[in-house]
Every structure is written in structure tokens, then in C-alpha cells.
Amino acid sequence: MIIRSLMFTIPVTFLLAACLDAEEKKPAMETRETAPAEPEEKVVKTDAEWREALTSEQYRILRQAGTERPHGAVYKEFKKQGEGSYHCAGCGALLFSSGEKFDSGCGWPSFYDPAKARNVKIKTDLSLGMKRVEVLCAVCDGHLGHVFEGEGFDTPTDKRYCINGVGLVFVPAGEKPVK
């Protein structure tokens, strides 16, 4: 009985591990040669549509307010990116530009100001037993991260928009939106 159980369990375990490994090898922060089309109105999808459109990690962060690990591959990629813009991975809305990006050393992409304030909104977050300010995409309500003030960074706003990189799509400077 134990041998039969193991004969089933071992192959299933390897299959699941292979699927998880394949998921982790997908690029976390996408880089596109052309910008995604800028949405003209609020983007609303069912939970099933979001699950279909996003990777499992993007879904966990954008739709379930998750957080990626600090100093990961996404952060290393972010640090290497040059001039360009950062769009919402959920809907394509322009959120930040490389002109406001800075290295805060926190392990997540950091910006001192949103590129288009109309596409970024904030709300009070009382989760985890503390008061924080959550940053959301104003177009699709995707969770992006949190904003912190008064940390002493030498930036024009003294704000740090601490953003999950998997929720962003980087578009190199000079590229036009695809309609």
C-alpha cells in the first residue's frame, strides 16, 4: 500500500516542481519594445479574466496585494534599465518614468514621484497592524506597493514610492504606444 502511494506521489511531486520551476523562469518585469496602449477608461475584469491575463506572481501582487521578495531578479533588472517609462502590468497605464527613479537600497524599485498622477492613486492601508499608504493603479485598481515620506532621501519630494517590479512593464525611451 505504501509503495503504491509512493509510486503516485513521487511523479506528481516532480510534475508540480517542474511547473513551479517553469513559472519562476518567466521574466518578472517585462520589457517591451513598444509601449502598451494607454487605457482610455477604467479597466474592470472578473477574477477569472485577471487570472487568465496575469502570471501567477502578477496576480498575487496586483490583485491580492502581495509583495515580491526584496533584492530579487526583478530589482536587479530594474537597476540596469535606462531611460524609459513604467506601465501597469495589469492594464498598460503609464505610472512612472525613469526620470523619477532612484536607488533607495530597499530592494524594490523606487520612484520619488509618479509620471502621471492621474494613473496612480493612494489609500490608507491598515493591514499588518500598522498604518501605511498603499499605492494603486488608478485605472485597474492593481496593488503596486506603498509610499513613504520623510525618510531623508535627497529627492525633490522626499517620498519613496516602493513598488513591486512584477507589477510594472518597462518601455525604453522613444517607443510609441501600440493602438
Give me the half-sphere count of Cα atoms (radius 13 Å) on the Cβ side of residue 15: 6
Long-range interactions of 53-57: CB distance < 8 A, separation 24+:
53/90, 54/89, 54/90, 55/23, 55/26, 55/166, 56/23, 57/23, 57/28, 57/166
Q: Grid coordinates representing 159?
A: 517620498
DSSP element (H, E) containing 74: helix 73-80
Give the largest Cα separation in the chain, rounded. Answer: 68
* Catalytic status, residue 88: no
Please tell me the distance from the alpha carbon of residue 120 to that of residue 94, in angstroms, as a whole number: 9
Q: Which of 91, 137, 140, 162 is catalytic?
A: 162
Which active-site residues does the annotation give?
162
